[in-house]
Amino acid sequence: MSCKLVVLISGSGSNLQAFIDAIAEGRLPNCEIAAVISNKPQAFGLERAQAAGITADCVDHRDFASRETFDRALQAKIDQYHADLVILAGFMRILTPDFVLHFKGRLLNIHPSLLPKYPGLHTHQRALDAGDKEAGATVHFVTEELDGGPPIIHAKIPINEGDTAATLAHNVLSKEHTIYPLAARWLAEGRLKLEGKKAVLDDKTLPENGLHYQED
Ligand code: GAR
């Protein structure tokens, strides 16, 4: 039986594209994307989904009076697609504890910083302002704490003279596209688990910052 992914997006969807490509190239065996759901009707990622023949759906947060009612509708929609894994791919909404609990252990996010540094927004500008020598991205399990769930894997890039938030975002994204499908594969294969507050891969607790991804 194949593992059904539902991918949540708010924007461009380049990480979604990385999943589409990984599946097409056999790097996510036995996985299929059951649906892509956006909270924004204009998100370009919805076009990427359609172009790949994947169901593209929208639950517009502006149609709901509260975060709770939006999350309940989103949860019901995801369940309709019988999601085994829920992949937050540039989904720019803070999720309620009930939503997170419902998908506990099968809800992943990618965040454009080396967590625990810079949860929240404007991560690359904050790294520049702090004079950091490196930037990166981290895949983590989602828990109730914003960008605070246990890291699974991170990838780094150097920050060079002349870098801007835009150049860093561009360079970090290309790393995101590698590490995110990799982490999802481990989860789909049952090798990766959320145990209490720890991420465990092949029965070993992962380091606090997650594994460090190194290119071959
Ligand atoms: C990515 O850089 C992702 O890490 C970030 O949004 C971008 C989405 O790009 N996510 C967050 O900031 C979540 N807090 P994409 O739409 O091209 O995948």
Full pLDDT tens readout for the chain, 216 residues: 799 999 999 999 999 999 999 999 999 999 999 999 999 999 999 999 999 999 999 999 999 999 999 999 999 999 999 999 999 999 999 999 999 999 999 999 999 999 999 999 999 999 999 999 999 999 999 999 999 999 999 999 999 999 999 999 999 999 999 999 999 999 999 999 999 999 999 999 999 999 999 987
Rounded to whole angstroms, the Cα distance separating 151 from 119 reads: 12
Q: Which atom of ligand 1 is nearest to the CA of 110?
A: 4
Q: Residues in the chain, how many? A: 216
Name the residue type at position 54: I
Rounded to whole angstroms, the Cα distance separating 187 from 154 reads: 16
Q: What pTM does this model have?
A: 0.98
In angstroms, what is the span from residue 9 Cα to ligand 1's centroid? Answer: 9
Q: Is residue 15 in contact with ligand 1, taking CB distance under 6 Å? A: yes
In angstroms, what is the span from residue 100 Cα to ligand 1's centroid? Answer: 19
> Between 165-188 and 14-24, two packed helices, what is the crossing angle to 10 degrees?
40
Q: What is the pLDDT of residue 215?
A: 84
Q: What is the pLDDT of residue 96?
A: 98
Angle ∠(174,96,48) on CA atoms, nearest 5 = 35
> What is the best residue among 33, 39, 110 to mutate for testing ligand 1's pocket, by most ligand atoms within 8 Å of CB?
110
Kindly report the protein residue whose alpha carbon is nearest to atom 17 of ligand 1: 14
Range 81-99 burial, b when 16+ CB lie within 10 A, else e:
bebbbbbbbbbebebbeeb
Task: Give Cβ neighbours of residue 186 (< 8 Å, ≥ 6 apart).
Answer: 152, 192, 201
Q: Which helix (H) or strand (E) holds 181?
A: helix 165-188
Q: What is the pLDDT of residue 157?
A: 98
Q: Is residue 12 in contact with ligand 1, taking CB distance under 6 Å? A: yes
Angle ∠(216,45,111) on CA atoms, nearest 5 = 50
Just give the CATH number of 1-103: 3.40.50.170
Residue 153 has a CB neighbour count (10 Å cut-off) of 25
In angstroms, what is the span from residue 197 Cα to ligand 1's centroid? Answer: 24
> What is the best residue among 46, 91, 157, 176 to mutate for testing ligand 1's pocket, by most ligand atoms within 8 Å of CB?
176
Q: Residue 184, class by beta-carbon neighbours within 10 Å (0-12 exposed, 13-18 middle, 19+ buried)?
A: buried
Given a contact cutoff of 8 angstroms between Cβ atoms, the answer to whether 34 and 25 are in contact is: no
Residue with tokens 């172009």: 51
Q: Which atom of ligand 1 is nearest to the CA of 137?
A: 4
Rounded to whole angstroms, the Cα distance separating 135 from 118 reads: 10
Active site residues per annotation = 111
The domain spans of the chain are 1-103, 111-216
In angstroms, what is the span from residue 181 Cα to ligand 1's centroid? Answer: 14
Domain 111-216 has CATH 3.40.50.170: yes
